[in-house]
Structure 1
Amino acid sequence: MGEDDGLREYRGRRDFGRTAEPSGRAGHPGNGRPRFVVQIHDARRTHFDVRLQVDDVLRSWAVPKGPSGDPGDRRLAVPTEDHPLEYEEFEGVIPAGEYGGGTVIVWDRGTYEPLSHDRAGRPVGFGRSLEQGHARFRLYGAKLRGEYALTRFRGGPGSAGEEAWLLVRTAGGAGRGRGAPDPWRARSVTSGRTLAQVAAEAAGELGR
């Protein structure tokens, strides 16, 4: 599937004449280990967005409580539309009335290593492991480092068999790691700003 096909839903939900979110048409270097980003999004409900590069897009999940550092915690992860690779760098305010309207900061980002294998011990591509409903990976971020797993199940928000996932920090490599902070006290890994500071600066720019 090409990037244009993968981003059709993303583009269809946004007016790029109003929002500063990337359209995904500029291209993005995709060399080296695949990328990940965790953004904090103060939309209708404040949550964390976990995005993992799969081929030419960022596969995305809304995680209300954010990633946990405790292997005993299972965090709900609701799949959302694929995002362009450039979204890894997006930080700012999505205008009110636009899809996902609210403030976004880049809480963490880095690379990840797929860890899934088949029964014969052969590596399985990350996209394939997601199709099969269980994907293991190791994050190399500024804040999140360690092994995680995403597991699909039915009966998510809205029920009626709606798809959802569980995000779990596995015990592989370490017992306990850093987890998600209070979103309103968290600072961007790229700018050092909080949600409130980003929103205030955007409001100041609009008021000029």
Structure 2
Amino acid sequence: MSRDFLKKYNKKRNFGITAEPKGKARKRAKINLRFVIQLHEANRIHYDFRLEWHGVMKSWAVTKGPSYDPADKRLAVRTEDHTMDYNDFEGVIPDHQYGAGPVMIWDKGTWMPEDDPDKMDKEGRITFTIEGSRMKGLWHLIRMRTTDKRENWLLIKSKDNFALNKTENAGFLKRENTSIVTGRTIDDIRKAGPGKTPSV
């Protein structure tokens, strides 16, 4: 069953051209579930938010990036599941390939679901605690009711000790604009050319 999770991921990519890892599910973990956020400059810049689940990374494209202000409701479009090996991918997807453009590892760490993830996904409200270098505290993913073909969700910060008001949150993403792995900016990664960064 787990192999089916990555069917769409593998179908969209030519691994003879792109350095992205070929899809392969891992054994399902119960603790120390991982997350990663990758800043991705494709047709438009966005933040790929990924949560480990069923041995793959469940993924959402957050168009404006995460916000620590609970008043912000950030659109998060559900995308295809990714292989867990993608957590270490930083580099440039070549032109004419799906998602062509630079990819930065913006944050990574662990996450803890408040309840059974499958149950929450079915109900359309995923509540979780996250522990990363930049993302911390309690967050929510809430599925929107829409006639859009896309599966649209909202990423919202919970009101906890990590939450910020609008003024405090202003400029957060502009300040935090480098890779937590290599310290590079998205421009640095683009200039390095197609392929995965050897040091990642």
From the superposition, tell whether residues 48 and 85 of structure 1 become closer, same or farther in structure 2 (CA, over 3 Å).
Answer: same
Q: Within the alignment, does 1:141 sit opposite 2:140 as a pair?
A: no
Q: Percent identity?
A: 39
Structure 2 residue runs of 5 or longer lacking an equivalent are none
Aligned to 1:196: 187
Q: Within the alignment, does 1:36 sit opposite 2:41 as a pair?
A: no
Q: Give the aligned residue type for 2:192.
A: E
Aligned to 1:121: none
8 Å contact from structure 1 (residues 61, 80) kept in 2: yes
Aligned to 1:164: 152
Q: Give the aligned residue type for 1:66.
A: G
Aligned to 2:174: 182
Extract structure 1 runs of 4+ deviating beyond 2 A.
24-32, 159-163, 172-180
Q: Give the aligned residue type for 1:182.
A: K
8 Å contact from structure 1 (residues 154, 161) kept in 2: no
Cα distance between partner residues in 1 of 2:104 and 2:148: 33
Q: Give the aligned residue type for 2:154.
A: L
Q: Give the aligned residue type for 1:170.
A: S
Q: Deviations over 1:38-80 (max 9, x none)?
A: 1000000011110001121100000011110111110000000
* 1:1-208 → structure 2 map (5 Å cutoff): 1-2=1-2, 4-25=3-24, 30=29, 32-115=31-114, 124-155=115-146, 159-160=147-148, 162-176=150-164, 181-182=173-174, 186-202=177-193
Cα distance between partner residues in 1 of 2:153 and 2:63: 12
Q: Tell me the C-alpha RMSD between the 2 structures.
A: 2.5
Structure 1 residue runs of 5 or longer lacking an equivalent are 116-123
8 Å contact from structure 1 (residues 107, 188) kept in 2: yes
From the superposition, tell whether residues 23 and 161 of structure 1 become closer, same or farther in structure 2 (CA, over 3 Å).
Answer: closer
8 Å contact from structure 1 (residues 147, 173) kept in 2: no
Cα distance between partner residues in 2 of 1:128 and 1:202: 42
Q: Which moved more, 1:26-35 or 1:84-93?
A: 26-35
Q: Deviations over 1:163-192 (max 9, x none)?
A: 200000011344328965139x71001111
From the superposition, tell whether residues 31 and 160 of structure 1 become closer, same or farther in structure 2 (CA, over 3 Å).
Answer: closer
Cα distance between partner residues in 1 of 2:119 and 2:28: 22
8 Å contact from structure 1 (residues 49, 63) kept in 2: yes
SS at 2:43's partner residue? Answer: coil
Using structure 2 for the length normalisation, give the TM-score: 0.87
SS at 1:100's partner residue? Answer: coil
Cα distance between partner residues in 2 of 1:56 and 1:66: 25
